[in-house]
Amino acid sequence: MRLSPLFVLPLLVGAQVWKCDDQTTCSSCASVSHYLGQEALTDSSSDTPLGTQLVGCKWCLKDSTCHADGSLFNPCSSSESIEYVDICPTSYPPSPPEFLPDWMSAVSGVIGNLTLLDLSLPGTHDSLTYDLSTTISDGGIDDYPELSKVLHLFSGSVDIIPGQIEDFIRQQARTQGMTITEQLDNGIRFIDFRTMKEKDDWYSLHMLESNEKSTTYLKEIRDWMESHPGEIVVLWMTKHGNGGAVGDDAYPGVSVEDKRAFWGQVEEIFDGLMLDTSVSQINVTTIDELVSRNHRVVVYAGDYVEFSNSSKFAIDGALIDNRLGSSVDDEENAYASEVDMFTNAASIKREDKASQKLLLRSMATSSPDFQVEAVAFMKFDPFASDEDQTKKCTDGFGIPSLNSWCPPTLMDIAQMGVYYKQLTLDLAYSKFDEGWEFPNAIYLDALDYDGRIRTGTTLPWGTIKDDDVEDHRLDNYPYADTLIGFNVKLACRMGGGNEGLCKSLLDMIEQRREVGGLVSRWDDTKYGRSSDWPVSS
Ligand SMILES: *[C@@H]1O[C@H](CO)[C@@H](O)[C@H](O)[C@H]1NC(C)=O
Ligand SMILES: *[C@@H]1O[C@H](CO)[C@@H](O)[C@H](O)[C@H]1NC(C)=O
Ligand SMILES: *[C@@H]1O[C@H](CO)[C@@H](O)[C@H](O)[C@H]1NC(C)=O
């Protein structure tokens, strides 16, 4: 039986205050209401279940206190109050790490004579999803039938607070905790910049619109480039990560005029910093020359002709040789295809370079349909069986150590995903002398501080799983340093720098990799971490 909101209101107040007072962190506070779902409502005199209610608490940053919904003691306005756990502040250290903010210039003594298409850039997938709003993007969930279904099935239900479904979708859309500036500071040089014209302007997106207009993030990148004069950044600009799509397939319903007007803004923002393809060729021009010409922003634009008006300041997005592979819900095949990629990367890159193509490898994931459906039913349908839904979800992943937990958010999947990605990244690095190489760029999820990827179970916004393997909550793998180390090794093999410089740089990078810990594997039979699957060490 469903109760009308009016009927449960008098009972709600007492329960809320009690629950909220107990919470001492943003993450636990914002979880009480909207993430743990519905609390059973019982008549205290008889213990008879009366139905369900939503228990709501909000975190206020001003007094670091958890307040009941609508509390008069909350000094934060309703827009300042944090209602959803995924927008709690992240806890990365406040200042940039050593070395990574200027890594290209720090190793320019060895990579200076290489071209951009000789390098392997650490990248992020869906780079701007750290800042999604709760507004569904125009056509943004067309490619996600399961989420459209959830939206239609449950929105309007009396038990659901306005915005709750949208926040649920956001939690299936967010792959990164770090801001774009933090990503650049942490060594990322390949940005998966998604953008789309919405009603009034261009926003970034992943199902939902970004909070800010796309130009805001572009200006942030510009500012960062100004203060890091030796760094080169590649922006891959598309709506949906499909560099070959053109016209309406690329930007549905957007006019050529609107595309070119936006591109005009891009050129304006990066004025003086863009690669000018009439002067520099990315497969010929050296890194040193790109830097000295200030050709440091390289944009691969999807729908090149319509979007950029065939601008000399852009490269056709169709020249991204994007290799997808499987993701973590098919991890045995993912592992095999990553091994295949890294053993063949050298020869593929050689071919790609001749036609100015950039070899890109996805090591990312998205929310699989079976997981979205399972978590949606568990969260929004009081009559769904958690056991049945969890089984459907864990069967879908097929990870032997994932038995009783359905990852509730994309970030949970992402961190479990990179737990497995570290294996092939490290293998490829260790097999450099046997000819294994990285592609020109990799993009993946769950970037962590110091250019690492978080393989542990604690989410960036602080949600701890208290029944996990405690020692490994914040484990991570040195993603950026591994790729940078590879670049240095490759440059040195190609004759860059001298022996002494090569050795000192490699020693320094190896030390950085080791200080934070290399591959870390453990067995957590609830949270899907296995020490001997899909391969043993
Ligand atoms: C597109 O390029 C053509 C040829 O260079 C130029 O004449 C035209 O003004 C450009 N249009 C826009 C909107 O920039
Ligand atoms: C660079 O690209 C151009 C155009 O695709 C090609 O003609 C040339 O051979 C390439 N150069 C190298 C060094 O790969
Ligand atoms: C690049 O090549 C030039 C000319 O051969 C050489 O003087 C310089 O040391 C090289 N730089 C690097 C970083 O290898």
Q: Which residues of 275-311 are buried (b: 16+ CB within 10 A; e: fewer)?
A: bebeebebeebbbeebbeeebbbbbbbbbbebbbeeb
Where do we find the tokens 């737990």?
Answer: 419
- Among the bound ligands, name the one nearest to the CA of residue 266: 1
What does the pLDDT read at residue 47?
A: 55
Q: Does the CB atom of residue 286 touch ligand 2 within 6 A?
A: no
- pLDDT tens for 59-79 read 999 999 999 887 889 999 989
pTM of the predicted model, to two decimals?
A: 0.93
d(CA 95, CA 32): 31
Residues near 350 by beta carbon (within 8 Å), at least 6 away in sequence: none
Whether the predicted pLDDT of 111 surpasses 90 = yes
- Among the bound ligands, name the one nearest to the CA of residue 262: 1
The β-bridge partners of 39 are: 53
Q: Give me the mean pLDDT over the 283-311 stretch.
A: 98
- pLDDT tens for 332-351 read 999 999 999 999 999 999 99
Mean pLDDT lowest among 102-111, 165-174, 454-463, 473-482: 165-174
Mean pLDDT lowest among 171-185, 193-207, 486-500: 193-207
For ligand 1, atom 1, name the residue with the nearest CA: 309
What does the pLDDT read at residue 491?
A: 98
What does the pLDDT read at residue 45?
A: 59
Q: Does the CB atom of residue 265 touch ligand 1 within 6 A?
A: no
Span from the CA of 310 to the centroid of ligand 2 (angstroms): 19
- Among the bound ligands, name the one nearest to the CA of residue 502: 3
Q: Give me the mean pLDDT over the 230-248 stretch.
A: 94
Q: Give me the mean pLDDT over the 180-208 stretch.
A: 95
Q: Does the CB atom of residue 105 touch ligand 3 within 6 A?
A: no
Out of 277, 278, 284, mutate this one to test ligand 2's pocket (max ligand atoms within 8 Å of CB): namely: 284
Cα dist from 449 to 167, 276, 516, whole Å: 25, 33, 10
What does the pLDDT read at residue 484?
A: 98
What does the pLDDT read at residue 35?
A: 37
Distance of CA 267 to the CA centre of its chain: 26
Out of 105, 113, 115, 494, mutate this one to test ligand 3's pocket (max ligand atoms within 8 Å of CB): namely: 113
For ligand 1, atom 2, name the residue with the nearest CA: 309
pLDDT band at 18 (very low <50, low <70, confident <90, very high): low
Q: Does the CB atom of residue 344 touch ligand 1 within 6 A?
A: no
For ligand 3, atom 5, name the residue with the nearest CA: 113
Q: Does the CB atom of residue 497 touch ligand 3 within 6 A?
A: yes
Whether the predicted pLDDT of 211 surpasses 50 = yes
Return mean pLDDT, the chain.
91
What does the pLDDT read at residue 448?
A: 98
pLDDT band at 154 (very low <50, low <70, confident <90, very high): confident
3-state helix, strand, coil in the chain (%, to 5): 40, 15, 40
Tell which atom from ligand 3 comes closest to the C-alpha of 497: 14
Neighbours of 248 (CB within 10 A): 11
What does the pLDDT read at residue 414?
A: 98
What does the pLDDT read at residue 36?
A: 35
**How do the domains of the chain map onto residue ranges?**
5-83, 97-190+203-212+324-366+411-537, 229-315
Percent of the chain topping pLDDT 70: 91
CA proximity to 527, closest of 397, 421, 424:
397
Whether the predicted pLDDT of 270 surpasses 60 = yes
Q: Give me the mean pLDDT over the 456-481 stretch.
A: 96
Tell which atom from ligand 3 comes closest to the C-alpha of 111: 13
pLDDT band at 511 (very low <50, low <70, confident <90, very high): very high
pLDDT band at 33 (very low <50, low <70, confident <90, very high): low
- pLDDT tens for 5-15 read 433 333 444 44
For ligand 2, atom 5, name the residue with the nearest CA: 355
Whether the predicted pLDDT of 2 surpasses 60 = no
Tell which atom from ligand 2 comes closest to the C-alpha of 355: 5
